[in-house]
Copies of this chain bind each other. A is one copy, B any other.
Amino acid sequence: MSDDTGAGKPRAPEGMGGLAKGLAIIEAFSETRREMTVAKAAQAAAISRASARRCLLTLAELGYVRQLGSAYLPTPRMLRLGDAFFESSTLPQLAQSHLDDARDQLNESVSLAVLEEGNSVFVARAEVTRPVSSYVRIGAKLPAYASATGRMLLADLADEDVDRYLSTTDFVPLSPKTETDPDRLRDLVRDVRARGYSVICEELELGMLAMAVPVRNRNGRTVAALSISAAIARVGLEQAEREFLPVLLARADALSRML
């Protein structure tokens, strides 16, 4: 707003400043910011307190947040916003029967993920019941560097995009076996690119391995990754490559042909 310069300069591309601010506040809610006051929201969204206050008043008026004392918390109505993607996107629905088939055939949980700002986001899932396994929420995300799907999706990026990702990511280990060296990760992504599938073993969660294959659109771009996960106590790497990989590749190929 106040950063514009020269007189007579054409206007910046038009937009809706208040919308941008409000969305910044919504995205600022997190596990460490379960509720926010006007001041906290302003700080988290890098806007003035007056703007933050207006946004929160509008969000409250529309039912997206509720007020508790001077704090604001998101309500379930917020879920409608995420629904916009699910109701619009055909990919999860097209994929579901393929995931179900793969799950039934291999008796392991199967999921589909897309890349979103350095994260692998689950958009579809077929889950097999295990005593230990917990429900993975569609919409949940995993860091790309530590997940089979994430590495599969990174493998489709141009080298410079992979490098940009590697240079701006904070590599938090998620298990004692998480690879966090950027050079090593670059090599791993290249390996995935060469091999055409991705496997990680205990990097995301001890005791678990995961395998992912690409789902491509008709331009050959990888638009999603189809993955399977299993406990290494039950399934070794060789068995995964022998039994899981052909089925995943076949399912991914069938799905790719629909895109």
Contact across chains for B88 and A84 when beta carbons are under 8 A apart: no
Is A29 within 8 A of B87, CB to CB? yes
Q: Which residue of chain B has its CB nearest to the CB of A127?
A: B127
- A62 touching B20, Cβ below 8 Å: yes
Q: Is A57 part of the contact surface with B, judged by Cβ < 8 Å?
A: yes
Give which listed residue, B57, B74, B100, contacts A84 with CB less than 8 A: B74
Residues of A participating in the B interface, judged by any CB pair closer than 8 Å: 13-23, 26-27, 29-31, 33-35, 51, 53-55, 57-59, 61-64, 73-90, 96, 99-100, 103-104, 114, 116-117, 121, 123-129, 131, 134-135, 137-139, 141
Closest-CB distance, A130 to chain B (whole angstroms): 9
Chain B residue numbers with a CB within 8 Å of A76 are 85, 114, 116, 121, 123
- Mind listing 6 A-B residue pairs with CB under 8 Å? A14-B53, A16-B18, A19-B22, A76-B116, A77-B116, A126-B135
Task: Tell me the minimal C-beta distance from A62 to chain B in angstroms.
Answer: 6
A83 touches B86 (CB 8 A): no
A17 to B121, CA, bound (A): 31
Contact across chains for B73 and A88 when beta carbons are under 8 A apart: yes
- In the bound assembly, the distance between CA atoms of A35 and B85 in angstroms comes to 10
Most buried by B among A23, A27, A126: A23
- Chain B residues within an 8 Å CB radius of A63: 117
Partner of A83, one of B13, B135, B139: B139
- Taking CB atoms, residues of chain B closer than 8 Å to A83 are 29, 82, 139, 141
